[in-house]
Amino acid sequence: MTESLRVLVVDDSALMRKLIPQILERDSSIHVVGTAMDGAFALKKIQELTPHVITLDLEMPRMDGVETLREITKRFQLPVIVVSAHTTQGAAATFKALAMGAFDFVAKPQDALSAHLESIAAELINKIKVAAHAQLTRIRVESDPVPHVRVRKTPQNRPPARKVIAIGVSTGGPNALQYMLSQLPADFPAAILIVQHMPEGFTELFAKRLDECCNIDVREAQSGDLLLAGRALICPGNRHMKVRRLPLGDIATLNDDSRVNGHRPSVDVLFRSVASEFGRDAVAVLMTGMGEDGAEGMNAIRSAGGLTIAQSEDSCVVYGMPKAAIERGYATRVVPLDALANTLQAQCLTERARATESKVRTGLEATRKCLEGM
């Protein structure tokens, strides 16, 4: 018989300490071994109860969640799912926790009544199961934060992008994206479109944090944003993102269509749109994350002549999304996280060289015809 997943619930709210175990133990594979009202109690109970996974509130008295997470990471190396307040302050603390080594997070409903907690029940259960079986060495390696340095950007008129890079990512994405995007130069010649599975209200702050430490421009997408070289647009939570090619410029568009693969935003929605509009000028990248969102959309880009890249298993926190594409034969290249930025730059430089060569060839042909006519 398979051993139940042992979970410790840490939250300063007595109501949450009652409701979270109730929703978790509906799954027969999960056993809540205990609860704790703050970090100090949590550290004692970890030693006593030896849980496999911890759910952690960040706003607690005495020892808050961030300090508790630091101790758990240092002393016990257990996967932690942050149960975050759905506020600006809660989002900021959540991103700090992810950088410190939290496995993933779920956002608390603004009203914590039992009926409202139902909205996160399946998500929390699924993430606990994935966290319990993830390799902790990956969690620690991927959670090492990139130094948070505000980049001084020189104002410039960015040109339209010749190439569009569409990225899909989920669990482990905030750290992986920060690591990769911070390595791209300010004059990166392609536009970047990103679907990160993340709740509404978190993506705006996430984009701002990335913008502060990257040489490229990073912003939360709005409908009508131009696709420009050296600009990354992050799809807002609870919206889908597509692209359109227009005479006055290529743009991103947002919509509220139904969920796809259980997600809004969905990577498949973005990838299929990019395949349809950009064809050979598209690059699809599937990074760390659970599930299969993006696999079929990647095939659409491959079929349209675009390049398809999947992050390598050894560099993923969770290998689900890249694995789905690789196993179906949709990924033409498999690249580790630390080589992704260079791979994208090399691809764009190759395209730039081809474009320059074509212009030179056209010029020489025109000169030859002119001389022949003399």
Is position 52 within any domain? yes
Q: What is the pLDDT of residues 188-209, one digit of tens each?
A: 999 999 999 999 889 999 999 9
**pLDDT bucket at 141, cuts 50 / 70 / 90:** very low
Q: What is the pLDDT of residues 326-361, one digit of tens each?
A: 999 999 999 999 999 999 999 887 655 454 444 435
At residue 364, the pLDDT reads 47
Q: Are residues 191 and 293 in the same domain?
A: yes
**pLDDT bucket at 135, cuts 50 / 70 / 90:** low
Find the distance separating the first CA and the last CA of the chain, reported in whole Å.
90
The candidate with the shortest Cα–Cα distance to 132, out of 95, 103, 108, 172, is 103
Q: Are residues 121 and 252 in the same domain?
A: no
Is position 361 within any domain? no
DSSP, residue by residue, 69-81: HHHHHHHT---EE
Residue 41 has pLDDT above 90, yes or no: yes
Q: Are residues 312 and 193 in the same domain?
A: yes
In the block, residue with structure tokens 């299929």? 272
Domain-terminating residue out of 77, 109, 143: 143
> DSSP secondary-structure letter at 279?
G
Is position 368 within any domain? no
The three-class DSSP label of residue 347 is helix
Distance separating alpha carbons of residues 211 and 223, to the nearest angstrom: 19
Is position 50 within any domain? yes
> How much of the chain, in percent, has pLDDT values that exceed 90?
74
Global pTM value? 0.88
Q: Are residues 66 and 198 in the same domain?
A: no
At residue 67, the pLDDT reads 94
At residue 355, the pLDDT reads 47
Residue 46 has pLDDT above 60, yes or no: yes
Domain-terminating residue out of 80, 114, 143: 143
CB-CB contact of 139 with 101 (8 Å): yes
DSSP, residue by residue, 358-371: HHHHHHHHHHHHHH
Q: Are residues 50 and 185 in the same domain?
A: no
Domain-terminating residue out of 114, 143, 172: 143
Distance separating alpha carbons of residues 342 and 307, to the nearest angstrom: 15
Is position 335 within any domain? yes
Is position 373 within any domain? no
Residue 275 has pLDDT above 80, yes or no: yes
Q: Are residues 249 and 187 in the same domain?
A: yes
Residue 227 belongs to domain spanning: 164-356
At residue 243, the pLDDT reads 98
| Number of domains forming the structure of the chain | 2
Residue 304 has pLDDT above 90, yes or no: yes
Is position 21 within any domain? yes
At residue 61, the pLDDT reads 84
Q: Are residues 270 and 308 in the same domain?
A: yes
Is position 372 within any domain? no
At residue 36, the pLDDT reads 96
Q: Are residues 102 and 183 in the same domain?
A: no
Distances (CA, A) of 279 to 46, 164, 165, 312: 52, 10, 11, 24
User: Mean pLDDT across the stretch 288-299?
Assistant: 97
Q: Are residues 349 and 240 in the same domain?
A: yes
Neighbouring-strand partners of residue 260: 263
> How much of the chain, in percent, has pLDDT values that exceed 70?
85
User: Mean pLDDT across the stretch 307-318?
Assistant: 96
At residue 86, the pLDDT reads 74
CB-CB contact of 86 with 198 (8 Å): no
User: Mean pLDDT across the stretch 211-236?
Assistant: 96
Residue 147 has pLDDT above 50, yes or no: no
Starting at the edge strand that comes first in sequence, how are the strands of the sheet with 53-57 ordered? 30-36, 5-10, 53-57, 80-84, 104-107
Q: Are residues 196 and 250 in the same domain?
A: yes
* Residue 191, both tokens: 């536009």
Query: What is the pLDDT of the chain when averaged over all its residues?
Result: 88
Q: What is the pLDDT of residues 55-114, one digit of tens each?
A: 999 988 888 899 999 999 999 989 999 998 877 788 899 999 999 999 999 988 776 555
Q: Are residues 78 and 193 in the same domain?
A: no
Q: Are residues 109 and 205 in the same domain?
A: no
**Catalytic center residues:** 170, 197, 293
CB-CB contact of 12 with 38 (8 Å): yes
Question: Domain of 327: which CATH number?
Answer: 3.40.50.180
At residue 349, the pLDDT reads 77
Q: Which residue has the higher pLDDT, 322 or 199?
A: 322
